[in-house]
Amino acid sequence: MTLNLHPDILEAIRRALAEDIGPGDVTTDSIVPAEAAMRGQVIAKQDGVVAGLDVAQAVYEMVDKVVDFHPQAEEGARVTRSQVLALVSGRTRSLLTAERTALNFLGRMSGIATLPRQFVDAVAGTKAVILDTRKTAPGLRMVDKLAVKRGGGHNHRIGLYDMILIKDNHIDYAGSITEAVTRARSAQTGLEVEVEARTLEDVRESLGLGVERILLDNMSLEWMAEAVRITAGRAKLEASGNVTLETVRAIAETGVDFISSGALTHSAKVFDVSFDYLT
């Protein structure tokens, strides 16, 4: 299972283990004999969406390749309080040493997955796709973005390298949307171009330049609906800015194609999970 994880995620696990264990787990190693074995279970302490069981498994495997980790729930599934998420067995030292790092990843990813699922449910029946942003924890971008996908959301761009997104500061520096787009296209990257629009006139200017996507920044519902009418399918429209669970349905009903929210990753509450000793 762990072979399918992105290399950045595996590297994040290595860093986390090195950070936590350092030269050794002095408490466990001083109390538990090297030959001791145990079984345990990972338990959900709340209702939500589980994500990152394979990441937790990778943590255990990096500590000890002979640990047996058996997921009891599917990735992205809704789970309930007290539900068993995984059964784990192996050397006692290994299980106790890996416990906190494994739960940290699982709790973070499940917390993130739970929030986009709520947004996706809120816009059900519309064409709007829920997107994340680059507002992820430093060093954990692929972890956070994987969690969003497992919660039913979609990834926007991964970094600064896979899409041209011309934002307000780029436009202000270049002097206009037209000049910024002209300069970006002159680089001949072949990448999709998205432009941030602060007004409906910005939308019209962007359409005239034939950009593929337009970001509607903090626009009112009325302006967003008008932008949909003006665009008439000539570009994809993304709504962004102060998107909440209370407002996302109304935004989706304007007819925009995408709704992005940094809250999916920067404001998700960690999902409460625990590891319980069985034998």
Marked catalytic residue, from 8, 20, 212, 217:
217
Amino acid identity of 37? A
**Is 78 annotated in the active site?**
no
**Is 61 annotated in the active site?**
no
Marked catalytic residue, from 39, 135, 234, 236:
135
SS3 call for 260: strand
C-alpha dist (Å) from residue 195 to 10, 128, 239, 271: 34, 19, 12, 35
H or E stretch covering 130: strand 129-131
**Is 217 annotated in the active site?**
yes
**Is 93 annotated in the active site?**
no
Marked catalytic residue, from 20, 39, 64, 100:
100
SS3 call for 245: coil
Marked catalytic residue, from 14, 167, 183, 269:
167
**Is 100 annotated in the active site?**
yes
CB 120 within 8 A of CB 153: yes
Marked catalytic residue, from 54, 132, 194, 196:
196
Give the Cα separation of 243 and 247 in Å (integer).
6
Give the Cα separation of 170 and 2 in Å (integer).
40
By annotation, the residues acting in catalysis are 100, 135, 167, 196, 217
